Amino acid sequence: ITTIEVVCNYRLGKKVCVKHNPKYSIGGLKKLIVAQMGTPWNKIILKKWYMVFKDHVMLGDHEIHDGTDLELYYQ
């Protein structure tokens, strides 16, 4: 099983690196990210430029590959 590393930048000037399977959903990725942050997973939004990623869509469908940088925002 291949894993990819996704880097999430959030506005406090910090980065979170998470390894995840590309066949899993954005919601699963959010749960791994907040495990390092201590925030509820449903209170964050993942974006790339102006595109907001939906929780039920798979990482591969959004063309998120190894080393992709995502932006993390709070709702």
pLDDT tens, position by position, 48-61: 988 999 999 998 88
**Contact assessment for residue 18 and residue 33, using Cβ atoms and an 8 Å cutoff:** yes
Sign of CA dihedral 52, 17, 30, 37: negative
pLDDT band, very low/low/confident/very high, at 29 (cuts 50, 70, 90):
very high
Q: In 1-75, which residue ranges form alpha helices assigned H by DSSP? A: 26-37
Mean pLDDT confidence for 26-51? 90
What's the CATH number where 17 sits?
3.10.20.90
Give me the number of domains the chain comprises.
1
Domain of 36 in residue numbering reads as: 4-74
The enclosing H or E element of 36 equals helix 26-37
